[in-house]
């Protein structure tokens, strides 16, 4: 079992921690966060407005600078630079970089080269400093433990959109399209109107005045990196599509409204049949549903994406509409946990048989897999998910 350090213990850092507490896929031995208030971190882990109370004992020890969770001691530090955190003395194999700070990603290769840790996993889609981006259901077979040391898990939107586009392209050929992502507010937005300097997140600036507006009062149209993140794993398909986004006044659960032209003639029934099959065959990544659900009903789903079959439409000219749901924190954080397991699998293999292991275990099309999920993905659904 790998030892993991979490850098940045905010929404995503804590979601990863909670998911791992349910499944015990790795050991968290160190946490680093710019905010030095250990009692506050303990409190935020225990009580979460979105996911409820943490089922377990959490104690902060300020003298030892440790968080104790269910009796397990976790070293806590508050270094602004990831490379200054003493990961190595704490036996950390993998650093999960969840602070979102660009400089921490850029420091990743140096950290690994200096032996500070064996791998770094980044929880967004930076344009530099990363060796490989992995989105499950699309390109997990691209991971090569010998060459890839700083690995990006991409962003929630791309984790939902890219697996759907991959299936559509493989089955029907995607020729053109648009995606509109509907994303809940994020911590750096303002509760009331502000200037381009974020009020709630000092130091955060926008070049779009609209993003400084009251986050709970408006649908805020904005640019998104969703499609550039998709292009990192599906360059050809991604190049045929564009995306925009709305920040919506909800706390959690995102949606993507996808409109695509396909090369082959389809019906809504054919598309729905495809995604019902994807759920049956790869239920860890894809969900499919037809109930009268709203966004909050998708809270704490662990899949990357749920296709809502009620809204699938095809025009007479063949233009297709799909509506997707995803828990932008929980679903995405489940994939980060899966990525740690993928990295562990690579590290376990000796260099000589590495190629073979990667080839037989991961180098295959996820769309054509037989009716099981890859063994690095946990099939269990906990009672709280």
Ligand X SMILES: NC(=O)c1ccc[n+]([C@@H]2O[C@H](COP(=O)([O-])OP(=O)(O)OC[C@H]3O[C@@H](n4cnc5c(N)ncnc54)[C@H](O)[C@@H]3O)[C@@H](O)[C@H]2O)c1
What are the residues binding ligand X (CB under 6 A)? 7-13, 32-35, 80, 98-101, 104, 123-124, 155-156, 186-187, 328-329, 332
Of the candidates 156, 174, 243, 367, the residue annotated as catalytic is 156
> At its nearest, how many Å lie between ligand X and the CB of residue 250?
12
Which 8-state DSSP code applies to residue 107?
Answer: T
Q: Residue 99 or 145: which CB sits closer to ligand X?
A: 99
HSE-up of 155 (CA within 13 Å, CB side)? 19
> At its nearest, how many Å lie between ligand X and the CB of residue 14?
8
Q: Residue 253 or 320: which CB sits closer to ligand X?
A: 253
> At its nearest, how many Å lie between ligand X and the CB of residue 125?
8
HSE-up of 7 (CA within 13 Å, CB side)? 30
Q: Residue 8 or 366: which CB sits closer to ligand X?
A: 8
Q: Pairing between strand 305-308 and 319-326?
A: antiparallel
Q: Residue 223 or 267: which CB sits closer to ligand X?
A: 223
> At its nearest, how many Å lie between ligand X and the CB of residue 175?
29
Q: Residue 139 or 225: which CB sits closer to ligand X?
A: 225
Phi and psi at 269, nearest 5°, equal -65, -40
Q: Please report which helix (H) or strand (E) contains residue 355, including its range.
A: helix 351-361
- Helix, strand or coil, per DSSP, at residue 262: strand
Please list the residues that pair with 132 across neighbouring strands.
151
By the 8 A CB rule, do 85 and 6 touch? no
d(C-alpha 143, C-alpha 354), whole Å? 11
> At its nearest, how many Å lie between ligand X and the CB of residue 332?
4
Q: Residue 37 or 315: which CB sits closer to ligand X?
A: 37
Q: Residue 183 or 345: which CB sits closer to ligand X?
A: 183
Q: Residue 189 or 272: which CB sits closer to ligand X?
A: 189
Residue facing ligand X at closest CB distance: 10
> At its nearest, how many Å lie between ligand X and the CB of residue 358?
26
* Residue of 131, 31, 34, 36 whose CA lies nearest to 87: 31
Question: Which token pair is 44?
Answer: 């935020």
* Residue of 120, 277, 135, 254 whose CA lies nearest to 183: 254
> At its nearest, how many Å lie between ligand X and the CB of residue 51?
13
d(C-alpha 9, C-alpha 33), whole Å? 6
d(C-alpha 362, C-alpha 165), whole Å? 20
> At its nearest, how many Å lie between ligand X and the CB of residue 155?
5
By the 8 A CB rule, do 242 and 304 touch? no
Please list the residues that pair with 245 across neighbouring strands.
181, 222
DSSP E strand stretches across the chain? 3-7, 27-32, 47-48, 52-53, 58-61, 66-69, 72-77, 94-97, 119-122, 132-133, 150-152, 174-184, 220-222, 241-248, 254-262, 286-289, 305-308, 313-314, 319-326
Known catalytic residue: 320?
no
Residues annotated as part of the active site: 156
């Amino acid at each position: 079992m790998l030892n993991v350090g979490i850098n940045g213990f905010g929404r995503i850092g804590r979601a990863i921690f909670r998911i791992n507490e349910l499944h015990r896929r790795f050991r968290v031995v160190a946490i680093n966060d710019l905010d030095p208030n250990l009692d506050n971190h303990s409190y935020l882990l225990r009580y979460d407005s979105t996911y409820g109370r943490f089922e377990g004992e959490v104690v902060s020890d300020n003298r030892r600078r440790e968080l104790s969770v269910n009796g397990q001691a976790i070293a806590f530090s508050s270094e602004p630079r990831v490379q200054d955190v003493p990961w190595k003395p704490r036996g950390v194999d993998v650093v999960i970089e969840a602070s979102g700070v660009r400089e921490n990603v850029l420091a990743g290769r140096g950290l690994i080269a200096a032996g500070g840790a064996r791998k770094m996993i980044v929880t967004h889609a930076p344009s530099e400093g990363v060796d490989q981006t992995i989105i499950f259901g699309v390109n997990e077979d691209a991971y090569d433990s010998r060459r890839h040391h700083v690995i990006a898990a991409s962003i929630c939107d791309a984790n939902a959109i890219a697996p759907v586009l991959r299936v559509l392209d493989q089955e029907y050929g995607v020729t053109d399209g648009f995606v509109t992502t509907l994303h809940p507010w994020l911590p750096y937005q303002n509760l009331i109107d502000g200037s381009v300097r974020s009020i709630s997140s000092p130091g955060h600036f926008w070049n779009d005045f609209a993003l400084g507006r009251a986050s709970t009062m408006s649908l805020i149209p904005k640019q998104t990196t969703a499609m550039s993140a998709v292009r990192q794993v599906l360059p050809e398909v991604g190049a045929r599509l564009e995306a925009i986004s709305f920040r919506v006044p909800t706390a959690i659960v995102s949606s993507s409204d996808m409109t695509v032209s396909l090369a082959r003639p389809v019906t809504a029934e054919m598309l729905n049949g495809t995604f019902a099959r994807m759920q049956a065959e790869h239920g860890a990544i894809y969900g499919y549903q037809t109930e009268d659900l709203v966004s909050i009903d998708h809270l704490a789903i662990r899949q990357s994406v749920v296709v809502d079959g009620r809204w699938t439409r095809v025009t007479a000219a063949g233009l297709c509409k799909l509506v997707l749901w995803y828990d932008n924190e929980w679903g995405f954080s489940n994939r980060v946990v899966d990525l740690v397991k993928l990295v562990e699998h690579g590290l376990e293999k000796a260099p000589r048989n590495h190629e073979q292991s990667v080839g037989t275990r991961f180098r295959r099309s996820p769309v054509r897999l037989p009716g099981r999920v890859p063994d690095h993905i946990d099939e269990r659904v906990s009672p709280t998910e």
